[in-house]
Amino acid sequence: MNLVDRDRQHIWHPYSAVGSPSPIYPVVAAEGVRLKLEDGRELIDGMSSWWCAVHGYNHPVLNEAAMQQLDKMSHVMFGGLTHPPAVELAETLVELSPWGLQKVFFVDSGSVAIEAAMKMALQAQIARGQSQRHLFLSPRGGYHGDTLDAMSVCDPITGMHTLFQGVLPKQVFIERPEPAFGEHCTEQHLAQLKQVFAERGDQLAAMILEPIVQGAGGMRFYAPEYLQAARRLCDEHGVLLIADEIATGFGRSGKLFAVEHADITPDILCVGKALTGGYLSLAAVLTTDEMANDIASGEPGVFMHGPTFMGNPLACAIAKASIDLLCANDWQQQVLQIEQGLQQGLAPAKTFTHVAEVRVLGAIGVVELTHPVDMSSVQPMFVERGVWVRPFGKLVYLMPPFVMSSGDLAQLTDALVDVVANLQIKDGVAVPLSA
Ligand SMILES: *Cc1c(COP(=O)(O)O)cnc(C)c1O
């Protein structure tokens, strides 16, 4: 049996059924911005493995950091012990993150970071004598992960969790953040936000949102003024603000952290994904001294969370090396170049009748179609053109590694535009012209 058939016997892939006939490609290695398939083909990577691999793959500096740490210890429990990789990474995160965030809680994945952030907010409110505040406010169009509490604040429709209605805690939702990035924000745009704070502000523990870029919930970019208004309203109503920067952190939106577009500091900030440059699963929750002090002063005087692999030394060492590399590489220039390349390269798609919008921010390029893409038939079209692009819903999008050359980027955008040009809408879905 070949690898794909063996895979289909046993393994679930993200949001799939075991044994699903949709195409799946065996990858045997990855180097720089290229994935190497078992059959020898090489694909230029347009996904950074879901926002993570900002330096590309098999990077000598990150490999070296991993080797060095492996020789010392790859893991040790974090209860009652500490080690240089965790301390150095925490110091680096505090130094680089928005002003005022001083305390770091390490976890093993993005969804768990969100769980921990939500629990932190609840514990801080309880400690402040505000235990009636147990709800979270979340804009529609958001994505915060797949565990139960994270799902409860994802977009209730695109979040795919209508299935879990009745089990998930019922949170408070408002419309997607408006206006779009680059557009002028008016009182009208903020009216609903103000209204919900006025009506339910005293029940809210925190507002949770993805700053500026809503990722897996729709790949939309919104105006910094919305974020500033959210910060102001949270302050006025005693509500905490949780910024989920798991996708946007480490330069993706053109700022190191997307909250910098609005020049605000959240009470809690979650990072993950690109934290280790895509090498290992690691995430972190950052918060203020005030939050940490409040939690310590309430019952039971400790923060009630502690994952087994918390502060994993191998992951922390690689993360520290990845952040150092990011700073040494002049990521701002890299992201700016990718932004320009995406703007130029994706522009031709604007004229297609089945394209609703083309938008670019930082190293994120989105071609939104008028109809959802049929993944099974469209995925092979990218592979045939030598690129790795994985659309979802109506969105065909790119978030390349920051180290991609302008030549590779042009090849990637040309391939994407060519695939989209060769689609048609049939029975409400985008399928190949040949279908
Ligand atoms: C991916 C993502 C998460 C969840 O992270 P996992 O590591 O997949 O659990 C949460 N929030 C945002 C914004 C994300 O993009």
* CATH, residue 365: 3.90.1150.10
Q: Which atom of ligand 1 is nearest to the CA of 210?
A: 13
Same domain? 322 vs 367: no
Q: Does this model's pTM top 0.85?
A: yes
Under 8 Å CB-to-CB from 126, ≥6 apart: which residues?
A: 298, 299
The pick from 52, 112, 136, 144 for probing ligand 1's pocket by mutation, whose C-beta has the most ligand atoms within 8 angstroms, reads 144
**3-state class of 361 per DSSP?**
strand
Amino acid present at 371: H
Domain of residue 36, residue span: 3-55+330-432
pLDDT on residue 393: 94
The pick from 50, 107, 143, 250 for probing ligand 1's pocket by mutation, whose C-beta has the most ligand atoms within 8 angstroms, reads 143
Q: Which atom of ligand 1 is nearest to the CA of 244?
A: 13
| CATH number where 236 lies | 3.40.640.10
Q: 9 exposed, middle or buried (CB, 10 Å; 0-12, 13-18, 19+)? A: exposed
Distance 244 CA to ligand 1 centre (A): 8
Query: How far is Cα of residue 17 from the mean position of the Cα atoms in its chain?
Result: 24
Pick the residue whose CA is nearest to atom 11 on ligand 1.
Answer: 144
pLDDT on residue 71: 98
Distance 115 CA to ligand 1 centre (A): 11
- Match 């045997």 to its residue by tokens: 28
pLDDT on residue 163: 85
Same domain? 177 vs 290: yes
Q: Which atom of ligand 1 is nearest to the CA of 50?
A: 1
Tally of domains within the chain: 2
Residue that finishes a domain, picked among 294, 328, 362: 328
Same domain? 134 vs 253: yes
Largest CA distance in the chain: 66
Strands across the sheet with 172-174, in order?
101-107, 283-288, 268-271, 240-244, 204-209, 135-139, 172-174
pLDDT on residue 419: 98
Contact residues of ligand 1, CB 6 A cut-off: 109-111, 114, 143-145, 210, 215-216, 244, 246-247, 272-273
pLDDT on residue 435: 84
pLDDT digits (tens, 9 = 90+) for 96-110: 999 999 999 999 999
Same domain? 283 vs 315: yes
Same domain? 287 vs 188: yes
pLDDT on residue 156: 87
Stretches where the chain sits below pLDDT 70 are 159-160
CB 223 within 8 A of CB 193: no
DSSP assigned state of 373: B
Q: 424 exposed, middle or buried (CB, 10 Å; 0-12, 13-18, 19+)? A: middle
Residue that finishes a domain, picked among 311, 328, 345: 328
pLDDT on residue 159: 66
Residue that finishes a domain, picked among 298, 328, 358: 328
Query: Residues with catalytic annotation?
Result: 15, 143, 244, 273
Distance 41 CA to ligand 1 centre (A): 30
Rounded to 10°, the helix 313-328/60-72 angle is: 150
The closest alpha carbon to 242, from 156, 170, 137, belongs to 137
3-state secondary structure string, 166-216? CCCCCCEEECCCCCECCCCCCHHHHHHHHHHHHHHHHHEEEEEECCCEECC
Q: Which atom of ligand 1 is nearest to the CA of 273?
A: 7
User: In degrees, to the nearest 5, what angle opens at C-alpha 422 toward C-alphas 419 and 428?
Assistant: 105
Same domain? 291 vs 340: no
Distance 424 CA to ligand 1 centre (A): 32
DSSP assigned state of 268: E
From first CA to last CA, the distance across the chain in angstroms is 30
Distance 96 CA to ligand 1 centre (A): 21
Phi then psi dihedrals of residue 267, to 5 deg:
-80, -30
